Chain A
Amino acid sequence: EVQVLESGGGLVQPGGSLRLSCAASGFSFTNYAINWVRQAPGKGLEWVSSISSSGRTYYAGSVEGRFTISRDISKATLHMEMNSLRAEDTAVYYCAKDLLTYSTGWYGASDIWGQGTIVTVSS
């Protein structure tokens, strides 16, 4: 079964750091991009970052320079390092698999989503 599973959320003080993980099963990161999408409490969906099947990374302007995606293909695990966290980063963070294997390595629509991990930035 194709699945993704997030972990690593928690409570962190403003300015602090947190590392989220996304474990994949049933598919390989070398074939499908991964997208991170977050949802602040009571709000809509917001794209955060993506890593293509070739390893190229993409970031929303609001997190550029603060968040970094990396992956360990052998462990089928992806990480998102989040630094200089702000109150507005408080959200449920979803890891989601790209729908298609695409020519550019990144399609952008997601068919398999994790259950989400909660990040709370507060003093």
Chain B
Amino acid sequence: ENVLTQSPGTLSLSPGERATLSCRASQSVSSNFLAWYQQKPGQAPRLLMYATSSRATGIPDRFSGSGSGTDFILTISRLEPEDFAVYYCQQYQRSPLTFGGGTRVEIK
């Protein structure tokens, strides 16, 4: 099983600041099979990025993804009030599909 470790656990930032979220895999992941989701309280997850750097439909360009091998990054260039949420990375290269433990982005 490919274990995904996200850091930091919590990120405290102000609106307008840049957020950098990390996802590290225990085994190499093809960049074609790494996704990021956003989840707000009481809501289902929302797909942000797939194939590491492709934005899902309707996702603003302040969200970007990068990385390869075992290290992947989600960057939010300028935080908007609606961006404060929990973010999960997911690898879908091999079964079992696995998710990281999540990074909470909170208002400082």
- What is the interface of chain A, defined by CB distance below 8 A to chain B? 35, 37, 44-47, 50, 58, 60-61, 94, 96, 99, 107-111, 113-116
B44 and A45: CB pair below 8 A? no
B44 and A108: CB pair below 8 A? no
Count B interface residues, CB 8 Å: 24
A-B contact count (CB 8 A): 56
B residues near A115, Cβ cutoff 8 Å: 44
Contact residues of A: prevailing secondary structure? strand
- What is the interface of chain B, defined by CB distance below 8 A to chain A? 1, 33, 35, 37, 39, 44-47, 50, 56-57, 88, 90, 92-93, 95-102
Given contacts A44-B88, A46-B99, A47-B96, contact A109 B45 (CB under 8 A): no
Instruction: Supply 29 A–B pairs (Cβ within 8 Å), ascending by A.
Output: A37-B99, A44-B99, A44-B100, A45-B39, A45-B102, A47-B97, A47-B99, A50-B95, A50-B97, A58-B95, A60-B96, A61-B1, A61-B96, A96-B45, A99-B56, A108-B90, A108-B97, A109-B35, A109-B47, A109-B92, A110-B45, A111-B47, A111-B56, A111-B57, A113-B44, A113-B45, A113-B46, A114-B44, A116-B44
